[in-house]
Amino acid sequence: MTRTAARSGAVLGLVALGVALAACSPSGSTPSDDPAVTVEKGIEYPGADGSALEADACVPTGEGPHPAVVLVHGGAFAEGDRGTMGSICRALGDQGFAAFAVDYRLIPATYPAQIDDVSASIRWLREDAQVERFGLDGSLSLLGSSAGAIIALSTAESLETASTPVDAVVALSPAASLTADAAQLGDPRPDLESVVQAYLGCDDLAQCPDAAAASPVQSAQLLPPTLIVHGSDELIPLAQAELLDGALADAGITHDLVVVDGAKHGLQLLNNDTRRSIVSFLRENAK
């Protein structure tokens, strides 16, 4: 079977799961007006393939400069958009961060297109014109939810090898490994394997050449300080988060794992305690 055919078959099985994962996100509607934060939507910037991508910015109105955080949405690589990150975008703006919720190519685009697109947003934000426009201080971190957490982690690793590292990563409900063996960790939902197959463009994880390379745990030693937030009994088995936590410990990387009791996933994990942990972690590691 060709890669294109494999993706087409897998996508048919992703629609319902993508919708379910999108339902795990708070509403993407515009937050109520807050004079402390300026929200600008639909800002165009060049994507990795030359096409235009868009970002929503939540920038503090107070005197800068401000540390930047790029927000990467979830949705099983097939659904969702930057609008689902509206609440956390505004919340980070309230805390003095310039937050940017970005889009990326969805399935049928396959790995590493998503990483390339998020990397493009970071290169754009590091341009002198954008630093001046948004009042940025040169610090830049990543925050991703669900599929977006995988993309954020992989992007951070790729930028480290490109000598343009980010300062920190916050990963909400990430899968650390996308290999066939890791698919058996914990008690995963059967349809999660089809999500990974579609993302990688394979119809058999055991024969997928990109499965290891696309797994954040594979290059954990390249990660910056990393905060993992995970549910104790959620869609992505906790064993995945523990796998990454162990790899970060082995590599001597500054990191923390926050486990939230229950089945909440992705952005649902954001409560007062986890928000405080995220803000504190980002502040401590901004350079």
How confident is the model at residue 180, as a pLDDT? Answer: 92
Block residue for tokens 């104790």: 232
pLDDT at 287 over 90: no
Tell which CATH architecture fits domain 3-285: 3-Layer(aba) Sandwich (3.40)
Token pair recorded at residue 81: 């958009």
Mean residue pLDDT of the chain comes to: 89
pLDDT at 262 over 90: yes
**Element (DSSP H or E) covering residue 166:** none
Percent of the chain with pLDDT over 90: 80
Q: Is beta strand 169-172 parallel, antiparallel or unpaired with respect to 136-145? A: parallel
State how far the alpha carbon of 236 is from the alpha carbons of 54, 94, 167, 181, in Å: 28, 30, 26, 15
Give pTM, 2 decimals.
0.89
Cα–Cα nearest to 171, from 47, 36, 265, 35: 265
How confident is the model at residue 188, as a pLDDT? Answer: 66
Q: What is the torsional sign of CA 186, 231, 74, 23?
A: positive
pLDDT at 279 over 90: yes
The Cα–Cα gap between 61 and 55 comes to: 18
Q: Which positions ≥6 away from 83 have C-beta within 8 Å?
A: 28, 29, 56, 101
Domain ranges, ordered by start, for the chain: 3-285
The Cα–Cα gap between 254 and 168 comes to: 9
How confident is the model at residue 185, as a pLDDT? Answer: 86
Percent of the chain with pLDDT over 70: 88
Q: What is the pLDDT of residues 171-221, one digit of tens each?
A: 999 999 999 998 888 776 678 899 999 999 999 999 999 999 999 999 999
- Comparing 114 with 12, which gets the higher pLDDT? 114
Q: What is the pLDDT of residues 8-35, one digit of tens each?
A: 333 334 434 444 444 454 433 344 467 8
The Cα–Cα gap between 22 and 68 comes to: 25
